[in-house]
Homo-oligomer: A and B are copies of this chain.
Amino acid sequence: MPQQHRAQATREAILRAAAEEFDRLGYEGAPLSVILDRSGVTKGAFYFHFTSKQALASTIVQVQDDAWPVLARAWLGRGLDPLRTMVGMFDEAVVLLSRDVVLRAGVRLAADRELGYPGLASAHLRWEKVLADLLFAARDEGQLRPGVDPESAARAVTAAALGARLISTATSRCADYPERMREIWRFLLPGLTTEEWCAAAERMFAAPDVL
């Protein structure tokens, strides 16, 4: 294999091994020596790619920081109604997280940082903002139950998704996250949306491949 391919493969192996450890045990719980063992890479090769364990973690955080705007732009560009956009975008994020350990480790590392330091809960506040914007649009289109406050609803959805991710990660390595999120939508949507929209959503959920 040409040298740059080999270098790329080594870098991928390090990222994946680190993600497996960070996802399971967090930053502090995953010593660099264990990550190197798992990846089968020498210390020398490691320092060719990353200056430190901290730099490695930052790269993994960056992967997920880059992923969400791409996802959001794709869903916002589809021209679906705002609630359908919200549910679809969220469900795709959940499926990606359940399948991709690098993405998942990035989210955990970012959350560990921000949840450990008050005032820095930026990723979750960003999600609340994205959802609130869609829910304001949904209210303008008459899709929300009367009296529903979009910001309040955005906080509730964000909280439920965060909790479900953590419990799912702890109990099933995140494999049942899509199912847990689906359950949450089923219970939250009747409180958020008009009966008509909710009935349409039930049909959507019965045929999940349309999402």
Q: Which residues of A contact B (CB under 8 A)?
A: 24-26, 28-29, 111, 114-121, 124-125, 145, 148, 152-153, 155-156, 158-164, 166-167, 169-173, 180, 183-184, 186-192
Contact = CB atoms under 8 A, between A and B. Distances in A.
Give the number of copies in the complex.
2
Contact of A119 (B119, B120, B153, B171): B171
B163 A159 contact: yes
Given A162-B167, A191-B191, 7 more contacts: A24-B116, A24-B118, A25-B116, A118-B171, A155-B167, A159-B180, A188-B188
Main secondary structure of the interface of A (DSSP, over half): helix
Contacts of A159: 160-161, 163-164, 167, 180, 184
A117 B145 CA distance: 40
12 contacts: A24-B116, A111-B166, A115-B169, A116-B170, A118-B169, A118-B172, A121-B171, A156-B164, A159-B167, A187-B188, A187-B192, A190-B190
Contact of A184 (B26, B119, B156, B183): B156
A164 B166 CA distance: 12
Nearest to A174: B118
Contact of A170 (B118, B145, B169): B118
